[in-house]
Structure 1
Amino acid sequence: MEPLGRAQVLLQCDLCQSTVLQSHCEICQINLCRDCVGEHLSDSSQRHNVIPYKYRFPAPYYPKCPDHNTHCEFYCEECDIPVCSTCKSSDKHHGHIFTDVLKKVHSKRKELEHDFEELEVRINPTFEEITLDFNSEKTKFENHYENLTTAVTEQEKNFQREINIIVKKQKSEIDEMKNKHLVALNEHSEEIKHITSDIKQSILDLKKILDSDDVSLISAYKSRNDEFRCLPPKVNVSLPRFSPNQIDTEQLHQTFGSLSAISITKEAHSNTLETPEAASCPQAKPLLDAAEVITSIQTKFTILQNVSCLSDNEIWTHGMENIMKLYNLRGEIIKSIKTQSGNNPRDITVTRNGDLVYVDIEISTVNIVKNKEIQEIIRVRGWKLHNICGTTTGDLLVTMDSDFREHARVVRYSGSTEKQIIQFDSNGKSLYSHGYTKDIVENRNLDICVADYEAKAVVVVNQAGIFRFRYTGHRPFTSEPFDFIGITTDSQSRILTSDRRNNCIHILDQNGQLLLYIDNCNLHLPWGLSVDNRDHLFVAECHSHRVKKIKYT
Structure 2
Amino acid sequence: MAQHYLVCGTEDCKRNCQFYCNPCHQRLCETCRDEHQKSPDTKEHEVVTYKQRKPQLPEEKCNLHPNRNVEILCKECNVPLCAKCIFMKEHTGHQLDDLEEKYAEKVAFCRSEISKIQDYYLSTSQGLKKEIREDVMEIKKTMDNIRNSIKAEAESLKELVDRVTSDKLEQANKIEETLLKTLNLQEKTYEDYTEYLEKLLKEFHRYKSITNFRVLFSEDFDKLKIQSIPETTQLVLPVFTAGQFYKDDVSKLLGSVNFPNIKPDNRRIKPMENASTQLKLPGKQMRRDAEKSDMKQTLSLSSSVTKVREYKVPGVDSVCHISLGKSGRLWASDKSGNLVHADLEGNQLQKIQTSGEDEGYHTVTQDGDLIYTDRKNKVINRITQDNTITEFIKTGDWEPISIHSSHINGDILVGMIKDGEVKVTRYNKTGKEIQNIQRDNKGRELYRYPYYITENINGDICTSDFIKYAVVVVNKSGQHRFSYTGQGSEFYPCGICTDLLGHIIVCNSFFGNSTLDIIDQDGQFLSQLLPQQEISPCCVCVDVESHLHVGQFYFNTKTVTVYKYLL
Q: TM-score range by the shorter chain?
A: 0.3 to 0.5
Calculate the TM-score normalised by the size of structure 1: 0.48
TM-score by length of 2: 0.47
